[in-house]
Amino acid sequence: MGGKATREQRRRYELAHPDRVRESKRRWEQANRARQNEWLKQWRRDNPEKVRAQKRRTYERYAERNREYQRERIRKMGPEAASAMRRRYYLANLEKMRAYHVRAVAVRRALKKNNGTFLITERDIARLLDRYRQSCAWCLLPLPDRWHLDHVIPLTRGGRHSIGNLVPACAPCNQSKTNKLPVEWRR
């Protein structure tokens, strides 16, 4: 009763003799390493979209694992220690942080320029404040000493840097609105 073993017979043999199977696979892989590598290279050339998807899944899995680890670490250390850690990092990497801020400012300037930048004078801003009665356009509370000019339609969403798209806002409202439209933000 020779011939090839069926899939079920192979499975039973593998379950009964795991050490033998493992050793046999190891010997085959050592003897055929070049053949295996060549096959893998060819598969990667033939399936670039699958390779990209696999890399992306791996990256996302590790990134999420790292984010969870960092969140847990910061939660354990408490808010004061976390703030001190961020401050130490910022001071230890001043050049890197400055470069980051310069890049962020450059992106914002480019958005303003591409979406249309208009000259806004102090007189325009004074009229804007009078129109809103020196109050935040979003929460209607009186503006504090340090207030922001908020873009109703954010620059990242195609809004223009013009007086018609600007409103006075308190810092908490402007920072929580980020790049959302007012309708999305108020939900």
SS3 133: coil
pLDDT of residue 187: 66
Indicate whether 80 belongs to any domain.
Answer: no
Highest mean pLDDT among 1-10, 70-79, 103-112: 70-79
Domain boundary among 65, 82, 104: 65
Report yes or no on whether pTM surpasses 0.75. no
Among 62, 25, 36, which residue's Cα sits nearest to residue 54?
62
* Mean of pLDDT values over 80-103: 88
SS3 158: coil
Domain boundary among 44, 65, 86: 65
Contact of 21 with 13, CB cutoff 8 Å:
yes
Indicate whether 125 belongs to any domain.
Answer: yes
Indicate whether 2 belongs to any domain.
Answer: no
Q: Which domain holds residue 60?
A: 7-65
Q: What is the largest CA-CA distance in the chain?
A: 99
CATH code of the domain covering residue 155: 3.40.1800
DSSP string, 35-90: HHHHHHHHHHHH-HHHHHHHHHHHHHHHHHHHHHHHHHHHHHH-HHHHHHHHHHHH
pLDDT digits (tens, 9 = 90+) for 10-63: 899 999 999 999 999 999 989 999 999 999 999 999 999 999 999 999 999 999
Count of domains for the chain: 2
Domain boundary among 46, 65, 84: 65
Cα–chain center distance at 118: 31
Indicate whether 167 belongs to any domain.
Answer: yes
pLDDT of residue 1: 46
Percentage of the chain lying above the pLDDT 90 cut: 55
